A and B are shown apart, each in its own frame.
Chain A
Amino acid sequence: MTRKVILIGMYFLFLSQVVDPNGTTWDFTCDAAEPFDSTGFATAFYNDPDQDCISNEFLIFFNYADGHIEPYTPWDQYNNDPVNGGFYDFDSNFWGCCTNSDQIGGSGGIDPDNTCPCEWEYEQENGFLLIDCPDDC
């Protein structure tokens, strides 16, 4: 009986995962909410164990209108800007992968080049938050 339960659980776990064109299994797949140029589309495969929609385990395919496809990996992300540590925000304005008003994480909102300390100013009574990030250190 226990074995049956485990096998059924593994079946549904496998069923809930997705496979990219290379045959690799991922937890999630998502298509970008906007074309990345005038006509191209982006498709992402990623893992998100802490469910915050920000991940450094992913593979993005940029599908160009002429048919060619370019992959984009956490190493590409890191090399573009080491500050982000290879993390990619899949709830950003162009993606919206997490579609949840209670979802933590960004819908865009950070400048990856900004390493200066930001001041958080919060007014509890009216729930107003302002985060001031200086341009220069």
Chain B
Amino acid sequence: MKYIILFAVIVLSSCTKETTNSVIVDSDRNLDKMNAFMNGAIEVDYKHDFRVSKLNNEVPPRVSPLLEERKLIQYASASGDVMLQKYTEVQSTISEWAGQNENDRYTWVIQNTSLKYLRRLFLIENQSLYVSEISFLLKILVNTKSVDLDVLADAFQHCNLNLSSGEQDRYFNYIKKLHDHEIDFIRTNVLKFKEKYDDSTGPEKMKYLAYGKDLERRSKACQYTRDLLGIEITSVD
């Protein structure tokens, strides 16, 4: 009997230790994310820098996100299992809002959610299993004039054989046009930002470094897209 009790104690103490370790890991991850939020800036790889389109030449509508919008944002930021579990609901909601989006009211949440579902889930899992999901989200992003070049390029690469020739042409031309626009923006601003970075000090210098890092990510996304889709770059005038 005493050996049974001893065995039970050993097993239970092992379980407790694992639970404690799991809590510590989650707390550390939350603390890192809080620190990143507090700092307001974090080094982000261009593939995880989710860019959302400008809305009607103005800043986003000054309305509080609906509870439904916040739910979608939470799902898109959750673990892979939760993301997959919630996808039917996400797809249905995105479809509904895409049909009511004349004034770009839902563009922010539609693009935010779609980009994250592609980058974090469907483009890293078995893509042949999720071709229709990738096609659906790519269509939504192009229709809402997405500006996240690398996600668009990856999604197109993974599903273009399953698209009609009309869709292939439309999506490829959209991605190429976006690429060219990004290159123009980089060429127009890089030397200006570098000069201001060189000439300033302190927080002002850090600000222009942030501008430069943004251009750096965009140039990497452009290079990645050219390599992936065989797009040619326009020459310098």
Interface residues of A (CB under 8 A from B): 18, 28-39, 41-42, 52, 54, 62, 72, 76-77, 80-81, 83-90, 92-112, 118, 120, 122, 124-131, 133
B10-46 CB mask vs A (1 if < 8 Å, else 0) is 0000000000000000000010011011111111100
Q: What's the Cα separation between A119 and B173 when bound, in Å? A: 35
- B34 A109 Cβ-Cβ under 8 A: no
Asked if B181 is an interface residue, CB under 8 A from chain A, the answer is: yes
Q: List 17 A-B contacts (CB under 8 A).
A: A18-B62, A28-B59, A33-B50, A36-B33, A90-B40, A93-B44, A93-B50, A97-B60, A99-B54, A100-B53, A101-B147, A108-B44, A109-B44, A110-B41, A127-B182, A128-B219, A128-B222
A-B contact count (CB 8 A): 186
Q: What's the nearest-Cβ distance from chain A to residue B54, in Å? A: 4
Residues of A within 8 A of B53 (CB): 99-101
Residues of A within 8 A of B70 (CB): 41
| Binding site secondary structure of chain B | helix
- A109 B210 Cβ-Cβ under 8 A: yes
Residues of A within 8 A of B190 (CB): 120, 122, 129
Q: What's the nearest-Cβ distance from chain A to residue B21, in Å? A: 18
Residues of B within 8 A of A128 (CB): 219-220, 222-223
Residue among B206, B233, B236 making CB contact with A85, cutoff 8 Å: B206
Interface residues of B (CB under 8 A from A): 30, 33-34, 36-44, 48-55, 59-60, 62, 64-65, 70, 73-74, 77, 108, 112, 147, 181-183, 185-187, 189-191, 193-194, 197, 202-203, 206-207, 209-217, 219-220, 222-223, 233, 235-236
